[in-house]
Structures are given as C-alpha cells and as structure tokens.
Amino acid sequence: MDVKTARPINSGRLVWCPACDLGLMRRALTPEELRESYDISAYYTHGQSHFPEVRASLAERVLVKLAWLTDRGRMMDADRLLTLQPQPGRVLDIGCGGGDFVAGLAAPGRALFGVEPDPQAREVAAGRGVVV
C-alpha cells in the first residue's frame, strides 16, 4: 500500500533486514508506477505535506534533544557543509525535492546535482541551477 495515495503497490514482496532495520521491495517500481506515487496534490514540494501533524511523545522529544546536543545544536545546513568542504567540486543531493538545500551550496566552480522522482519538484530544482 502506498502511504501517500493509499493505493495498492504491485511491486512484489517486502524484504526486511532486522539487523539494519531496512526494508525494500523485491521488484522496483516501473517509471509509470513511480510517477503515479508522486502525482498527488499534497506532496510536500507542491505546497503542502501529505503527512498528518503528529504530536511527539516525551521519549521522542528527549531523543531529539539528545541528538541536538550531540550535534552541538547545529542542523546539517548548507553553511555548515561549506565550512567542512569549502573548495569547489560536485555536490549530489539524493531526494533533492525543489533543490532548496543543494542550491544553498552554490558557489563559483561548484556543480550542483540532484536526484528527484517528482517532475514538478525537478522543474523547481532546475530553476535553481541544479542539474536534476
């Protein structure tokens, strides 16, 4: 079942690895099936999110606070990445959406690339100078 559209997905059986807590489908989606899964008005790059607002539990809030303290209160943002890797080069953002994050890394000599299955988001990212 596609969590965004509530439509059945005929991509085979879900295989789950309990050691790494990662799952994948036995068959990759066809390009048409992939397009359909992003063809919804409430996809986050289309102006709103398809995820319902959920109040975090106390345990979840504690975990977020611990992660924040571990990262010294710094989000992984473009400015932080630029301090870690200031020289020009190539940057790839997988699942780049509208290119907001990767476009923030623009600099002379730096090539920006993104991978995004949603055609509307790809157009937005391309308009920001990202090769998608």
pLDDT tens for 4-27 read: 667 776 766 777 777 877 777 767
Q: Is residue 132 part of a domain?
A: no
Q: Is residue 19 part of a domain?
A: no
Domain assignment of residue 115, given as a range = 40-127
Q: Is residue 6 part of a domain?
A: no
In the structure encoding, which two tokens stand for residue 68, read together? Answer: 């924040």
Mean pLDDT value across residues 38-55 = 70
Q: Is residue 121 part of a domain?
A: yes
Q: Is residue 56 part of a domain?
A: yes
From residue 125, alpha-carbon distances to 38, 52, 62, 67 in Å are 16, 25, 34, 29
The dihedrals phi and psi of 23, each to the nearest 5 degrees, come to -125, 155
Mean pLDDT value across residues 44-53 = 68
pLDDT > 80? residue 55: yes
Structural domain count of the chain: 1
Q: Is residue 21 part of a domain?
A: no
> Distance from CA of residue 113 to its chain's centroid?
14
Q: Is residue 3 part of a domain?
A: no
pTM above 0.85?
no
Q: Is residue 1 part of a domain?
A: no
